Amino acid sequence: MRLLKNVLASLGLSLAILSLNSATAAVGNPELGKEYRNLRQAQPTDSGKKIEVIEFFAYYCPHCHALEPLLADWVKKNSDKIVFKRVHVLNPGVEAQLKLYYALEGLGKVEQYHSKVFQAFHVEHNRLMTNEQVAQFVTKVGLDKTSFFNAYNSFGVTMKLNRMERTMADYEIGSWPTLIVDGRLMTSPSMAVSTFRSRPSEDEQNRAVLPVLDWLIAKVQKERGGK
């Protein structure tokens, strides 16, 4: 019996490795119109010599939550090449979450609290749909309420909220998570596996988008004539 369990365990590990290798190989040479596409109108960037990468996401989105740890690791590994930004999308009823994100951004506390917001919504079941629910989160994580809500209700955050519909239209955002490279190249986990023959798991989709991002970064670097 122990031998059978060991064989099955080894087989499972081999299949997992084969699946991961197949996913990586499938996106080794992304094709325009499949694993990525061009925006109709390129958007301005302000990242200097580095390459801008924007993630359009939402705190309530389970797919964004699943992607977050993998993407965060990828960003750290590529910090010498990229300037990473996030844009919280607008959907009816989630204005409080958008304001929460941009309040944290204004306070310079996104990296400290970003994963905690995902945790609050997806694990602790705080919907973060009202000012009161946001206040519960702020109290629980120990943020200063006065400074937070000054940022939350600031003119700058209100302007981002009011402009978000136009921002999403400019970047042609219809689903999330979506990633924009250099203001003009779009990809996403679902696009990264668009040519897979079998239906990939969410983890496979999320892992597949990382080599697509690597390829797009290299493409932009080559077009700029650098490394």
DSSP H or E run through 141: helix 131-141
Residue 60, strand partner residues: none
Query: What Å distances lie between residue 48 and 82, 186, 205, CA to CA?
Result: 10, 20, 30
Q: Give the pLDDT confidence score for residue 66 in this predicted structure.
A: 98
Task: Please give the structure tokens belonging to residue 50.
Answer: 């580095």
Cα–Cα distances in Å, from 188 out to 37, 40, 127, 163? Answer: 10, 17, 25, 23
Predicted confidence at residue 5, as pLDDT, reads 45
Q: 169-227, pLDDT tens digit by residue?
A: 999 999 999 999 999 999 999 999 999 989 999 999 999 999 999 999 999 999 998 65
Percent of the chain residues topping a pLDDT of 90: 86
pLDDT in the model for residue 13: 40
29 strand-pairing partners: none
pLDDT of residue 158: 98
- Dist. CA 70–CA 77, nearest whole Å: 11
Say which DSSP state 215 is in. Answer: H
The residue-averaged pLDDT of 58-62 equals 98
Amino acid at 167: T
Q: Count CA within 13 A, CB hemisphere, residue 117.
A: 30
Average pLDDT taken over every residue of the chain: 91
Which residues on neighbouring strands pair with residue 51, listed in sequence order?
82
Q: Find, among 21, 49, 75, 67, the residue nearest to 224 by Cα.
A: 49
pLDDT at 227: 56
What is the pLDDT confidence band of residue 146, given thresholds at 50, 70 and 90? very high
Work out the pLDDT band at 144, boundaries 50, 70, 90.
very high
Q: Is 85 helix (H, G, I), strand (E, B) or coil?
A: strand
